[in-house]
Amino acid sequence: MTIKGLGDQSRAITALKPGTRVAIEGPYGAFTHHVRATESVVLIGAGVGITPLRALLEDLPASIDVTLIVRASTSEDIVHRDELAALVTHRGGQFHELIGARHEILFDARLLGGLVPDIAHRDVYICGPGDSARTSSLRL
């Protein structure tokens, strides 16, 4: 489990004693490799959403072609960055980092199509913080 100390509650975790019962919530949906329909996937994550992608990346069968796209304001904000890069490299996949402010990076169909030209033929997994969600549709 990875917890980023962003507020009082996440920092309070450090004071818990081993054996303390806690309740954990989310992520939601079918975020496992068992729902795949293809042999190629794109994993897209931002912020805290990068952590479940790391677990999924380890769980995917070795034969699956993986492209990982992570978005963050700074390189330091990419949780598990070195581990992710190593896992993707070991599989022979592609690892893309989109670094910069949200207003600087237009995360649209053109950008995705440039990074993953065959995205329309891949299973796509997306995970990010709720406050960064944008309601939109992309035609690829």
Q: What is the mean pLDDT of residues 8-28?
A: 74
- 85 domain residue, yes or no: yes
- Residue range of the domain that includes 99: 30-130
- 45 domain residue, yes or no: yes
- 7 domain residue, yes or no: no
pLDDT tens digits, 62-112: 999 999 999 998 888 888 889 999 999 999 999 999 999 888 888 888 999
- 69 domain residue, yes or no: yes
Task: Name the nearest CA neighbour of 114 among 79, 78, 74, 69.
Answer: 69
pLDDT over threshold 70, residue 138: no
- 90 domain residue, yes or no: yes
- The SS3 call for residue 35 is helix
- 125 domain residue, yes or no: yes
- 96 domain residue, yes or no: yes
> How many domains, the chain?
1
Length of the chain: 140
Residue with token string 């496992």: 32
Mean pLDDT (the chain) is 82
Q: 10 Å Cβ neighbour count for 61?
A: 8
The domain that holds 85 is classified in CATH as 3.40.50.80
pLDDT at 137: 40
Q: Is the model more confident about 96 or about 20? A: 96
0.85 surpassed by pTM: no
- 2 domain residue, yes or no: no
